[in-house]
Amino acid sequence: ILCILTTTPSACMRIISPREFVDVVVMKQYEDGTMQSAATNVEHPLCLPQPNFVRGFNYPCGCFCIPVPGEPDRTELLTFFQTDLGGYLPQTVVDSFFPSSISGFYSNLTKAVKALKA
């Protein structure tokens, strides 16, 4: 079990301020090689809101990385997210920003899974 502070840079020519999220994360690997990561928002006295960041909120979320039988270089991915970016953003701005943020997550996840398998 980990308590993780995640920050994101400003986006859309600084229309979207930097965000921070504090989550408790549980990771587990099963006998069949499936890896699970589950997280939810938490408040922690050592992770007080930082100046110049907007505190976002992650609802219970996570992912499963499931090995594809017979194909060692492939992994099936099941994810679920629900995030409140906080602040006063129009929904159209959130809708334009969130897809690129999620694609960055998947890129980092791919690197992490490869590192774990190495």
Give per-residue pLDDT as tens, 97-118: 666 667 777 777 778 777 776 6
CA nearest neighbour of 87 among 8, 24, 31: 8
* Domain tally, the chain: 1
CA nearest neighbour of 83 among 105, 110, 50: 105
* Amino acid making up residue 6: T
Tell me, what's the pLDDT at 94? Answer: 67
What percent of the chain lies above the pLDDT cut of 70? 89
Task: Specify the pTM.
Answer: 0.73
Q: Provide the domain limits for residue 54.
A: 2-117
Q: Which long-range contacts (CB under 8 A, 24 or more apart) does 21-28 make?
A: 21/55, 21/56, 21/57, 21/58, 21/83, 22/47, 22/55, 23/58, 25/1, 26/1, 26/2, 27/2
What CATH number did the domain enclosing 53 receive?
A: 3.30.530.20
> 35: which strand partners?
29, 65
**106 contacts: CB under 8 Å, gap ≥ 6:** 77
Residue with tokens 């587990």: 28
